Amino acid sequence: KHRVGILLSGRGSNMAALVEASRAGDCPYEVVLVASDKPEAPGLAWARENGVATFAQSPKGMAKADYEAAVDAALRSAGVQTIALAGYMRLLSNAFVARWRDHIINIHPSLLPRYKGLDTHARAIAAGDAVAGASVHIVTEQLDGGAVLGRSEVPILPDDTPETLAARVLKEEHRLYPRILAEFVRR
């Protein structure tokens, strides 16, 4: 099976969806490492409890290059072939992206190319959009700018808040990401 490493910073619900999908039926990938820049991330605890190897490295007090070298070494020693970012809230350097070119994908909570960056749901509501959604894309040096591999749409309802919309989008993320990752590793 294709060996996937996941980077996250928090809750890890997309990571859990990827792990659960990997354990069902004829999935073409397995999750061999979950790594986090936040040692206290709930997603790391979930991974440990569910038998997935973990790696935690805070970047605090380190040069960015040293932090990324440690993450890179952990991924390589786990034999990772594809990196899936799942709520990893830190920008990867150009050098890291270049070392893993076309082997890093990300899920972003908007219909790219709309609403790159943060606060996507509040921005979609403020703009009066009728639909919102999530996108899975290849990671390049441009923030949320690489080729889009798949998107999923949900309606924006009249009394949505960023929180209610985020919850509706998140459910779609959990369906979209495992499907697109499976397609990506089969490519």
> In angstroms, rounded to a whole number, what is the distance separating the alpha carbons of residues 55 and 38?
10
| Residue 168 contacts ligand GAR per CB under 6 A | no
> In angstroms, rounded to a whole number, what is the distance separating the alpha carbons of residues 33 and 173?
20
As a 3-state breakdown, the chain gives helix, strand, coil percent values, each rounded to 5, of 35, 25, 40
The DSSP secondary-structure symbol of 117 reads S
Q: What would the x/- binding string for ligand GAR be over residues 58 to 97, using CB under 6 A?
A: ----------------------------xx----------
Using DSSP, state whether 150 is helix, strand or coil: strand
Question: In 120-146, which positions are buried (b, 16+ CB within 10 angstroms) versus exposed (e)?
Answer: bbebbbeeebeebbbbbbbbbeeebeb
| Residue 12 contacts ligand GAR per CB under 6 A | yes
C-beta of residue 47 within 8 angstroms of C-beta of residue 22: no
79 or 104: CB nearest ligand GAR: 104
Ranked by CB distance to ligand GAR, the top (closest) residue is: 87
- The annotation status of 91 as a binding-site residue, yes or no, is yes
- Relative to beta strand 131-138, strand 29-36 is unpaired
**Which member of 173, 176, 178, 181 binds ligand GAR (CB under 6 A)?**
173
**Which member of 4, 6, 14, 149 binds ligand GAR (CB under 6 A)?**
14
Least distance to ligand GAR, CB of residue 126, Å:
17
**Which member of 109, 133, 146, 178 binds ligand GAR (CB under 6 A)?**
109
CA 54 to chain centre: 16
| Residue 10 contacts ligand GAR per CB under 6 A | yes
**Which member of 75, 104, 107, 181 binds ligand GAR (CB under 6 A)?**
107
67 or 133: CB nearest ligand GAR: 133
| Residue 146 contacts ligand GAR per CB under 6 A | no
Binding site for ligand GAR (CB under 6 A): 8, 10-14, 43, 86-87, 107-109, 134, 170, 173
